[in-house]
Amino acid sequence: MRRAAWTAGTVALLLALDLVLPGTLNPYHMQILMLCGINVMLAVSLNLINGFTGQFSIGHAGFMAIGGYGSAMFSLHVGRGWVAALAAGGVPAPIAQGAALLTALALGGLLAAGAGYLVGLPSLRLRGDYLAIVTLGFGEIIRVVIQNVDAVGGARGLPGIPGWADFFWVGLGVAGVLAVSRNLAHSTHGRALFAIREDEVAAEALGVNITAYKVLAFVIGAFFAGVAGGLFAHYLSYLNPNSFTFIKSIEVIAMVVLGGLGSVSGSVLAAVILTLLPEVLRPVKEYRMVIYSLMIIVLMITRPQGLLGTRELSLRRLLGRFRPARETA
């Protein structure tokens, strides 16, 4: 019951914001907001793998690419036809587009999840840096393959993707990944993941099926990265393989570590900060990236455990401060 209320509330809030925001924010701020949302999805989903489970993946851009290209190809070849058919049948355009987009995103997410399953398997045999290199290699393989397949545009990129993803859909994606992360963290399965992170051998001795759980973390993380990639594609209307180099994976890792490994709200916060920072630094021109990298170093030195460590920012605790005052009034 409470869950249904939460879901309905979130959807209503997003719809309301979707109507209000484009009128109040200019498209530039809107775009930064959307990129923030997509980066939040990437960071939170990687946090499931790197933060919750303690695996070391640097291939997140690969999952994002699979989801982005998969969903874009679906929309270009099938989704557009659906929208036209539905519109001919009298269905309002936003609903028809929403249905097509949802299918495309689900497909992109599932493709990425399948890849996540394949990449998760070696994690049974490989540890730490060796696993990192395998995931990195996987990401590069994906990019090189996309670059060489003419059907998806190759190096020239894929233009003309329908721009169906608006604020509502990105917001829904963010809400989805947050809900899954939060519920997972509080469930038996989440505890199992934490146990693997803290001590694999001890977890196994306690009867945790580490094989299944490691792969599970990869599958869920990859799924949401794929959805984020799909939103990215349907928002920008253009994809290029050079957007998915290992540097993109590293950016996402920086968000997770900066926020605090394992902290969901930390990942959100760091993703927002690291997306805004380069924009805020625009006035300094050529010095922008130098200052950006310096700030990463300084942040890591002053807060090596990340902004929030493993703690969470809690709305309840924040509200709790005001509550006694309200009761007496």
Partner 1 sequence: MSEFFQQLVNGVTWGSVYALIALGYTMVYGILRLINFAHGDVYMLGAFFAFFAARWLGVARSPTPAGALLVLLISMAGCGVVGYVIERFAYKPVRKSPRLSALITAIGVSLLLENGGILVFGPDPKFFPQVIPASNIPLGGGVTISNQQVIILLVSVALMLGLTFVVLHTRVGKAMRAVSHSHTAAALMGISVDRIITFTFVLGSTLAAAAGVLVALQNPKIEPLMGIMPGLKAFVAAVLGGIGNIPGAVVGGLVMGLAEVMVVAYLSPTYRDAIAFVLLIVILLVRPAGILGRYAAEKV
Partner 2 sequence: MTPQDRLRLGLAGTALLALLALGCGGAAEPELVVGEYGSLTGNDATFGQSTKNGVELAFDDLVAGKQGRIGGLKVRIVVEDDQGKAEEAATVVQKLVNQDRVVAVLGEVASSRSLAGGPICQQAGVPMISPSSTNPRVTQVGDYVFRMCFLDDFQGWVMAKFVAENLKLKRVAMFKDVKNDYSVGLAQYFTNAFGAMGGRVIAEQAYQSGETDFRAQLTALKAANPQAIIVPGYYTEAGLIARQARELGIKVPLVGGDGWESEQLLQIGGDALNGTYYSNHWALDFPDPKLQDFLKKYRAKYGSDPDAIGGLAFDAANVLFAALEKLAADDARTFAGLSSKFAGKPERAAATKRLRDLIAATANYGGVTGTITLDANRDASKPAVVIAVKDGKKVYETTIHPEGRPAS
Stretch that binds partner 1, among 11-19, 66-74, 124-132, 184-192 (CB under 8 A): 124-132
Q: Are 130 and 236 in contact (CB under 8 A)?
A: no
CA distances for 272 relative to 39, 69, 101, 227, 279, angstroms: 8, 25, 25, 18, 11
Q: Is 274 in the site for partner 2 (CB under 8 A)?
A: no
Contact with partner 2 (CB under 8 A): which of 71, 123, 243, 263?
Answer: 243
The interface with partner 2 within residues 179-208 (CB under 8 A) comprises: none
Q: Whose Cβ is closer to partner 2: residue 191's or residue 288's?
A: 288
Q: Is 35 in the site for partner 2 (CB under 8 A)?
A: yes
CB of 278 vs partner 2, minimal distance in Å:
8
Q: Whose Cβ is closer to partner 1: residue 78's or residue 273's?
A: 273
Contact with partner 2 (CB under 8 A): which of 17, 157, 191, 300?
Answer: 157
To the nearest 10°, report the CA torsion of 118, 121, 126, 129: 40
Q: Is 306 in the site for partner 1 (CB under 8 A)?
A: yes
Q: Are 229 and 71 in contact (CB under 8 A)?
A: yes
Q: Is 279 in the site for partner 2 (CB under 8 A)?
A: yes
Residue 300: Cβ within 10 Å count: 14
Q: How far apart are CA 212 and CA 125, in angstroms?
A: 13
CB of 218 vs partner 1, minimal distance in Å:
15
Contact with partner 2 (CB under 8 A): which of 99, 117, 126, 147?
Answer: 147
To the nearest 10°, report the CA torsion of 311, 249, 224, 128: -60
Stretch that binds partner 2, among 8-16, 77-85, 201-209, 229-237 (CB under 8 A): 229-237
Contact with partner 1 (CB under 8 A): which of 9, 183, 187, 287?
Answer: 287
Count the residues of the shown chain that bind partner 1, applying the rule CB under 8 A.
43
Q: Is 290 in the site for partner 1 (CB under 8 A)?
A: yes
Please report the DSSP string for 236-290 in residue order.
HSEE-GGGGSHHHHHHHHHHHHHH-TT-HHHHHHHHHHHHHHHHHTGGGGGGHHH
- Residue 287: phi and psi, rounded to 5, are -80, -5
CB of 35 vs partner 2, minimal distance in Å:
7
The DSSP letter of residue 162 is: -
CB of 69 vs partner 1, minimal distance in Å:
16
Please report the DSSP string for 69-123 in residue order.
HHHHHHIIIIIHHHHHHHHHTT--HHHHHHHHHHHHHHHHHHHHHHHHHHHHGGG
Cβ neighbours for 75, distance < 8 A, ≥ 6 positions apart: 100, 101, 104, 161, 162, 164, 234
Contact with partner 1 (CB under 8 A): which of 14, 44, 252, 261?
Answer: 261
Stretch that binds partner 2, among 7-15, 29-37, 123-131, 221-229 (CB under 8 A): 29-37
Q: Is 240 in the site for partner 2 (CB under 8 A)?
A: yes
The interface with partner 1 within residues 171-200 (CB under 8 A) comprises: 200
Q: How far apart are CA 67 and CA 38, in angstroms?
A: 13
Tokens of 74: 């679906």
CB of 148 vs partner 1, minimal distance in Å:
5
Residues near partner 2 (CB under 8 A) are 26-32, 35, 147-148, 154-157, 159, 232, 236-243, 269, 273, 276-277, 279-280, 282-283, 285-286, 288-289, 307
